[in-house]
Structure 1
Amino acid sequence: MSALRTLRQVTVTSSRVLTARQLSTTSFRAFPALATQIVSASSSRASSVSARKLGEGSSDIALSQKLTEELNYEKEAEAGTSGAPDFLKAFQEEGVWEISDVLGNDEVALTRKFGNERIRLMFSIADIQGEEEDFQSDHGESESEDSGDEPLHSYPIRVSLSITKTTGPGCLNVDLVAQEGHFIVENVSFYKDAKLGTDLTAESDWKRRGTYIGPQFDTLDVAVQEEFEKYLQERGVNEHVALFIPEYAEFKEQNEYVKWLSNVKTFVDQ
């Protein structure tokens, strides 16, 4: 979610709360007749709406207009930027990782080959949405105005790494968190069946939950932790990729949001 959109949502939410409080604490007490009129008008509208046919609600036009306004705002914010952003072009030009991203899907995969190994990194934009919701609930309007001084990509993104080999069975799975340009290893799992370790089906996920996932990484001997981190670095799971993942997740979330606005508006207008 873009920083501008987050700020707008926090400001609008604060305004709504303030307006509701002012109306409830001032208008209704000072003007009891006004409260009676509002209740009466609400009842009339409810009766009118109930009499309408499906697909002809009185709110359809207003909703469509608001969706159009939001869609235009997002397009104006993107004005002057055409094609892939610079950070994505630079990443693709390196030719190390391939990006598998389908519009409408929640997850993104980065894949590469390393000798006889196949390496896959997977992450989801759902982490961005959850972090932004926490931000809006934990910060007031005044605090949000100063948020420009905070790191743009400070939120954590959970990443799942799988490594398989063409020369033998088995799969190494690593649970990581990408945050502020670093990967934090949480735990390392091993599956004798490579298909079980890499399959994205619900059945395989259920089977994986019933297997031993290994110890927490930070409980391992420090020397083992250090060597394992070198093992990942050599395979390109490094600071550069840890910076790229949150940036790409934000880029994808914005594209998905604009597409969502367009799809919902088209449905409402039918």
Structure 2
Amino acid sequence: MYRLICSARRTILSSSSSFSKTQFHFLQCHRSHRTPSVQPRIGTPTFLFRSRPYSTDVITKSPFEANILRILCSEIDYQSDYAPPHQPATKFNTFAVEDRAGEQWMTMNGKFGDSEDIKIEATMFDGFVSVPRVGDDATGEDARLHISVIVDISKRDGSKTAQFICSAWPDTLEIHNVYVFSTTSRDNKLVRPYIGPHFGKLSGELRRALHEFLKARGVNDELSVFLHEYMMNKDRIELIGWLCNLKSFVEK
């Protein structure tokens, strides 16, 4: 399973890298149409939310570097003031949420009954599809953002793990593949058997049953809504952090 997860991560992060410029442009456009309503919460990293934190800094740099720093400070101020991010959630329903600061992933951990452990790993936005705008006066297209999700459901005795490769859309969770792993008794290593067909090739009855299997464990459309809200906030946090790191690099 470890090799598969690594492979899945490489594939997802590769697609995320190739998409980053388009996604960043879209998110910037998306921000420009949002009315800021979220305010910082207690415990939020203060460097993200200080209004005009660098306006009194004394810059002893060349004119070129001073101009870069001025632009960076202006951008940090704008991002912090216009749509300030809030402290990331640490819990969703029965799942504990672990933010991975500076990374393109987040992790959720939960349990089901006395026999199963559930681990969910989700990317930041790594793709989108264009859809027609809705409404009587709507013209053009909107983008539905995509999040890649890996769900591991492991038997607590270590005997078997089922892995679901999914897509989280703004209001829907889709399953793409289901893998089942067994632990050998001889060397305690996970082996990958026949991985089965693509989820879409399964019978409708089996697809519905597997969706119900996940829903019973809290992996459902409600989770997709949460992940999109979480990642929109994480995108702002990571952007401001990246700008601050770039500013620190130029200053040294």
Question: Could you list the per-position Cα deviations for residues 64-90 of structure 1 after superposition, in whole angstroms to 9, with x for gaps in the alignment?
Answer: 1111110010111146x7x537xx48x
Question: Could you list the per-position Cα deviations for residues 35-71 of structure 1 after superposition, in whole angstroms to 9, with x for gaps in the alignment?
Answer: xxxxxxxxxxxxxxxxxxxxx7652111111111100
Structure 2 residue 205 is the aligned partner of structure 1 residue 223: yes
Q: 2:64 aligns with which of 59, 65, 68?
A: 59
Question: Could you list the per-position Cα deviations for residues 170-191 of structure 1 after superposition, in whole angstroms to 9, with x for gaps in the alignment?
Answer: 2111110011311111010111
Q: 1:6 aligns with which of 1, 9, 29?
A: 29
The normalised TM-score by structure 2 is: 0.65
Residues 57 and 76 of structure 1, relative CA distance in 2, 3 Å threshold: same
Q: Within 1, Cα distance between the matches of 2:109 and 2:117?
A: 7
Q: Within 2, Cα distance between the matches of 1:244 and 1:250?
A: 10
The normalised TM-score by structure 1 is: 0.61
Residues 252 and 196 of structure 1, relative CA distance in 2, 3 Å threshold: farther
| Residue 174 (structure 1) aligns with | 164
Structure whose CA Rg is larger? 1
| Residue 46 (structure 2) aligns with | none
Residues 196 and 61 of structure 1, relative CA distance in 2, 3 Å threshold: farther
Question: Could you list the per-position Cα deviations for residues 77-112 of structure 1 after superposition, in whole angstroms to 9, with x for gaps in the alignment?
Answer: 146x7x537xx48xx3x6411101121122101110
Q: 1:105 aligns with which of 103, 106, 123?
A: 103
Residues 239 and 4 of structure 1, relative CA distance in 2, 3 Å threshold: closer
Q: 1:183 aligns with which of 145, 165, 173?
A: 173
Please state which structure has a larger fraction of its residues in strand.
2
The amino acid that maps onto 1:157 is I
The amino acid that maps onto 2:70 is Q
Q: 1:84 aligns with which of 84, 87, 90?
A: 87
Residue 193 of structure 1: CA displacement? 3.3
| Residue 165 (structure 1) aligns with | 155
Question: SS of the counterpart of 1:263?
Answer: helix
Q: Within 1, Cα distance between the matches of 2:79 and 2:139?
A: 22
Q: Within 1, Cα distance between the matches of 2:123 and 2:76?
A: 24
Structure 2 unaligned residues grouped into runs of 5+: 1-23, 33-60, 131-137
Question: SS of the counterpart of 2:145?
Answer: coil
| Residue 125 (structure 1) aligns with | 124
Q: Within 1, Cα distance between the matches of 2:167 and 2:27?
A: 25
Residues 70 and 119 of structure 1, relative CA distance in 2, 3 Å threshold: same
Question: SS of the counterpart of 2:159?
Answer: strand
Residues 77 and 196 of structure 1, relative CA distance in 2, 3 Å threshold: farther
Question: SS of the counterpart of 1:67?
Answer: helix
Q: Within 1, Cα distance between the matches of 2:180 and 2:104?
A: 26
Question: Could you list the per-position Cα deviations for residues 209-265 of structure 1 after superposition, in whole angstroms to 9, with x for gaps in the alignment?
Answer: xx6432101111111111111111100011110111111111111101101101110
Question: SS of the counterpart of 2:197?
Answer: coil
Determine if contact 1:2/1:254 at 8 Å carries over to the other structure.
no
Residues 4 and 162 of structure 1, relative CA distance in 2, 3 Å threshold: closer
Aligned pairs for 1:1-270 (under 5 A) are 5-6=28-29, 59-78=64-83, 83-84=86-87, 88=89, 92=91, 95-115=93-113, 116-125=115-124, 127=126, 130-131=127-128, 150=142, 154-193=144-183, 212-270=194-252
Q: Within 2, Cα distance between the matches of 1:146 and 1:69?
A: 34
Residue 124 of structure 1: CA displacement? 1.2
